[in-house]
Amino acid sequence: MTNPTGGLGLTSGLFDMFVLYEALAAIVHGDAKESILDRYSDERRRVFLQFASPRATENKRLIYHSTDPARLEVDLKRLRRLETDKDFLLQSVTFTRQLQTPSLLGG
């Protein structure tokens, strides 16, 4: 479970559902073995630990716990880059793509 700052729990939950629905439907229809759920669990946990949780934690720190003026200035300088650095802006707005898990049914 992640903190709600930034909505990454909801967003990653939707990605959880997309890949889980497909896997469960394949099991029900006899097109996949139940072991696919272990792969699902491992992959979604990896995505959470590698992307969703660290970003949510950083969002919360920035918004609610910015007590160090020097650190806050570094954070704000990073945010100001969004105005001038198109590549950084694109990287920031496409972050949620990293929360996706491709189909587990493909070879």
pLDDT(107) > 70: no
3-state DSSP helix/strand/coil % of the chain, to nearest 5: 75, 0, 25
26 neighbors 36 (Cβ within 8 angstroms): yes
pLDDT in tens, 65-82: 989 999 999 999 999 999
Give the distance from CA 56 to its chain's centroid: 9
pLDDT of residue 47: 96
3-class SS of residue 54: helix
Query: pLDDT for 26-76, tens place per residue?
Result: 999 999 999 999 999 999 999 999 999 999 999 999 989 989 999 999 999
Q: Which has the closest alpha carbon to 46: 83, 102, 99, 103?
A: 99
Confidence (pLDDT) at 43: 97
Higher pLDDT, 76 or 7: 76
Which residues does 60 contact at the CB level (< 8 Å), separation at least 6? Answer: 3, 5
| Cα–Cα distances in angstroms (integers) from residue 24 to residues 14, 34, 76, 88, in the given order | 15, 8, 44, 37
pLDDT band at residue 4 using 50, 70 and 90 as cut-offs: confident
**pLDDT given for residue 70 in this prediction:** 94
Tokens representing 104 are 């587990």
pTM, two decimals, is 0.84
